[in-house]
Amino acid sequence: MNEQQTAQRSVRGFGQVETWVFDLDNTLYPHHLNLWHQVDERIRDFIVDFLKISRDDAFRLQKDYYRRYGTTMRGLMDEHGLEPDAYLEMVHQIDHSPLTPNPELGAAIAGLDGRKLILTNGTREHADAVLDRLGIGHHFEAVFDIRAAALEPKPRPQVYERFLVSTYFAGGLLWFVILLRCRLAAAAPSPVLAQGSQAAGP
């Protein structure tokens, strides 16, 4: 890291960060690529088939469970006894081809000192597909997915507790890089990481 980069991080308050935790969807790629829209549609399709209800009713239920339980899957598990494996496989079978290699993003991530981790409500398989398409997977030490979280969604406190134990976090300053209905630019140490757009909930 050169002197200018060091000074920039110090001014922005990032100089002491030892661990960077990235959300995945609509954070490492821009919202307009509509990957999460595909997941959103497949969730609705699953509900229609699983509960034998109309698509309009499935949409209302999907959003209600997302608001109340953190993920639609958790609502279906608690309210209807859903076994999650088939659900997770089905809803993440999407077209990842809108994603293309992003060496500029990779360089920005590489320029961050410290550990880099992924924390996602999606599956490891989906995360791997995203990272592979972007060409940035080698920058991350680990992916903590919904299965690693015992199928509990963010932002439940126990998810973060499991995450910290699983990734052997031993203290120091940790910075979450997330995007939910706000822009990342205010928190981003590089303009490349500020690809912000609105995130859509499942």
Q: Per-domain residue ranges for the chain?
A: 3-31+100-193, 35-91
Q: What per-residue confidence (pLDDT) applies to 133?
A: 97
Q: Which CATH superfamily is domain 3-31+100-193 in?
A: HAD superfamily/HAD-like (3.40.50.1000)
pTM of the model: 0.79
Sheet architecture: strand order including 17-22: 142-144, 115-119, 17-22, 173-177
* Interatomic CA distance for residues 56 and 136, integer angstroms: 38
Mean pLDDT in consecutive groups of 10 residues from the start of the chain, 202 residues: 50 74 92 92 97 98 94 96 96 96 94 92 96 97 96 91 86 69 37 36 46
Residues whose CB is less than 8 angstroms from the CB of residue 71 and which lie 6 or more positions away in sequence, other chains included = 65, 121, 146, 153, 202
**Which two tokens mark 37?**
């829209």
Q: Do domains 3-31+100-193 and 35-91 have the same CATH topology?
A: no
Nearest to 175 by CA among 134, 110, 115: 115
Instruction: Name the class of domain 35-91.
Output: mainly alpha
Q: What per-residue confidence (pLDDT) applies to 6?
A: 52
Sort 170 into a burial class: Cβ within 10 Å, 0-12 / 13-18 / 19+.
exposed
Q: What per-residue confidence (pLDDT) applies to 155?
A: 84
Q: What per-residue confidence (pLDDT) applies to 147?
A: 96
